[in-house]
Amino acid sequence: MSGANAISGITIVGALILSNTAFNEGDPGTAAWLAFAALIMATINVVGGFMVTNKMLEMIAGKRRKGGK
């Protein structure tokens, strides 16, 4: 799970760099809009990954508290 979050984090950094240069030039093209879409989707993926990881850790911690080791 953390590997997928790391890859999405790299995607976020690349999309931010591309979006910044493309939108600052004044006339954003298709690549700029695709970078913006990639930024949105990768952000959703990272947040969802952290939510799933947190839920899994809570499930493991709950088993330990109820009498397991």
Tens of pLDDT along 21-57? 877 777 778 888 888 898 999 999 999 988 988 898 8
User: Taking 60 as the threshold, does the pLDDT of residue 68 lie above it?
Assistant: no
Q: Are 67 and 36 in contact (CB under 8 A)?
A: no
- Label residue 16 exposed, middle or buried (CB < 10 Å: 0-12, 13-18, 19+): middle
* Domain coordinates in residue numbering, the chain: 2-65
**Rounded alpha-carbon distances, angstroms, from residue 61 to 1, 49, 53, 68:** 18, 18, 12, 10
pTM above 0.75, yes or no: no
